Amino acid sequence: MSLLATCIDLSAIAHNMRTVKAAAGGARVMCVVKADAYNHGAREVVPVLDRHGADAFGVATFAEARAVRAVTDKPVLAWLWAPGQDIPEGIDVAVPSLGHMASLIDATRTCPAFNPQVCLKLDTGMNRGGIDEEEWSEAFSLAARAGLRVTGVMSHLACADEPSNPSNDVQAETFRRAIALARSHGLDVSCNHLANSPATMSRPDLVFDQVRAGLALYGLDPLGADVRDGLRPAMRWVATVLSVKRVAAGEGVSYGLTWRAPSDGYTAVVSAGYADGVHRAWQGCLEVGIGGDLYPQVGRVCMDQIVVWLADNPAGVVAGDQAVLFGAGGLGATELARRAGTISYEVVCSPGGRTERTYQGEDRQ
């Protein structure tokens, strides 16, 4: 028995893929599987997404792209790289600056047989990455003259998790202007994408030719609700009760004795700490599910373990019981994020260290 594991439900992944596909209407769906599929395991998740409607995959780095390319024949786009990096064969490349474009053009001139599909990444108002509007004409002209195989343009919404935020409409209009300008320079931009998960689920007018779905594929609502549109959370993080200890009223627990028992009772030591991804910032926010009941985490989070307060332990919790850190039987990742002042993306990316990843569901092959 593993002391600490994430349990990934591949049937939930398949269900969420179908749900996102329906929300996208007739648009293509690029599944974002960066950071090892948001910590769900790209090697197992990508084939499930592939079988249930994915049209393409998106990642951050070339290393991630190679790993995804090994398990799918669908297009794989990478968008986080530095000029001068070796660009792997068989990977689509996003170009976020004139410097990146110059590096890519140099690579194609050095090796004429090398001519990857390219998506031009444009800044439409987020001001994080992408070619600035005043450089669009130069970028489109350079790409056309160099004969780059430009498939489309892409950009990223800054406030998609606020569907009515006027900046979404401003960015969309800027994006439409970019598409028209690219076409006026002779580029055949037929696969353009702006919408991420929240926009896909809430703003059908921003779908364009393709959407880039991430969080929704893993069953978490990108707009911050616990459940939306039938999405099913795919990750459950479970630990083990290592011991149950009696403490007297007023006795302190864990480093610094920062928490003291309000009455005579019992504590349980659970096999997860900050080395495994239980952030110290979760102190006072986390409740652990044991046998269907929630128990508060108390005291300081340690490197290898946490302590939970069982009060008088009416359910008879014992060593060896399963303790749910988040997921079915415990707090939802969205609720934990809300309490901790963060986002569910960070919560599902947290399990690590000694956590083992396991899989279940009918879609496992």
pLDDT tens-digit series, residues 122-151: 999 999 999 999 999 999 999 999 999 999
* Phi, psi (degrees; rounded to nearest 5) at 332: -70, 155
Per-residue pLDDT at 364: 57
For residue 35, pLDDT over 90 is answered with yes
Contact call for residues 13 and 31 (beta carbons, < 8 A): no
CATH placement of domain 235-360: 2.40.37.10
Place of tokens 């009772």: 265
pTM for this predicted structure: 0.94
**73-111 confidence digits (pLDDT tens):** 999 999 999 999 999 999 999 999 999 999 999 999 888
- Listed as own residue / partner, the contacts of 169-178 with beta carbons closer than 8 Å and 24 or more positions apart are 170/125, 171/124, 171/125, 171/126, 172/205, 172/206, 174/124, 174/125, 174/133, 175/122, 175/124, 175/208, 178/122, 178/124, 178/133, 178/136, 178/153
pLDDT band at 229 (very low <50, low <70, confident <90, very high): low
pLDDT of residue 222: 87
Catalytic site positions: 34, 255
Question: What is the average per-residue pLDDT within 188-203?
Answer: 95
User: Quick check: 228 pLDDT over 60?
Assistant: no
Helix (H) or strand (E) holding 211: strand 210-213
Going from N- to C-terminal start, the domains of the chain cover 10-218, 235-360
Q: Say yes or no to pLDDT of 363 above 70.
A: no
The CATH code of domain 10-218 reads 3.20.20.10
